[in-house]
A and B are shown apart, each in its own frame.
Chain A
Amino acid sequence: QVLLQESGPGLVKPSGTLSLTCTVSGASIRSSYWSWIRQPPGKGLEWIGRTYHSGIINYNPSLQSRVTISLDASKNQFSLKLDSVTAADTAVYYCARIQDAEYEAAFDSWGQGTLVTISS
């Protein structure tokens, strides 16, 4: 069973940097694509980006100028950094594994999510 656990500060000041880490257990981080997804309170899901151990990284164009996703295979972790945050970045942030195939990409395992609030 694959388990994912998000960790990081729950409160970030406006204009600061949001930093989260996802620790994966039950699977090698080299085996799949991995992704960050967020959900503002009362709103829908938004894909942030994905990474693969080979160095492939793709970002949502709407966030690309502010976001960095990285992977540490030695720790079986991947991370998210979001710069210049505003109140609009307040959301539950999820990490997830992507089950990737030629004609589909499904998020088959999710972390429990962590609420990050942007406030002074």
Chain B
Amino acid sequence: SSEVTQDPAVSVALGQTVRITCQGDSLRSYYASWYQQKPGQAPVLVSYGKHNRPSGIPDRFSGSSSGDTAFLTITGTQAEDEADYYCNCRDKTGDLLVFGGGTKLTVL
């Protein structure tokens, strides 16, 4: 299966905008989904598809993509957004699923 890669760590000042990236060949064909995971908790879906957000997820979270890269943008980052963020998508065959290695977001 193909891989998708993420930066291990990103930091952002409180109230600022941050963009977390996910890169891989299969992202040219498929959309990424994004998950927020806080310590000791299960991941939570925050963005999926072209520009979709599950109910209950604040609108400061938005997903997008360009070429082989997907982006999760958090606008007006809050302290409670500090967490690990994972992307996932289908692999090139479409039948298998892959996760990125995760990005630890620190809010300064």
C-alpha gap A113/B38 in the complex (Å): 13
C-alpha gap A106/B99 in the complex (Å): 11
Question: Are A106 and B49 closer than 8 Å at their CB atoms?
Answer: yes
Could you tell me the distance in whole angstroms from the C-beta of A94 to the nearest C-beta in chain B?
Answer: 6
Q: Which B residues touch A44, using CB under 8 A?
A: 86, 99-102
Q: Which B residues touch A61, using CB under 8 A?
A: 1, 96
Question: Are A101 and B49 closer than 8 Å at their CB atoms?
Answer: yes
Could you tell me the distance in whole angstroms from the C-beta of A19 to the nearest C-beta in chain B?
Answer: 21
Question: Are A107 and B33 closer than 8 Å at their CB atoms?
Answer: yes
Could you tell me the distance in whole angstroms from the C-beta of A5 to the nearest C-beta in chain B?
Answer: 12
Nearest first, the 4 A-B pairs at minimum CB distance are A106-B48, A106-B33, A104-B31, A110-B42
Known: A45-B37, A99-B48, A103-B31. 15 other contacts (CB 8 A): A45-B99, A45-B102, A47-B99, A98-B97, A103-B49, A104-B33, A105-B88, A106-B33, A106-B88, A107-B45, A107-B88, A108-B45, A108-B48, A110-B43, A111-B42
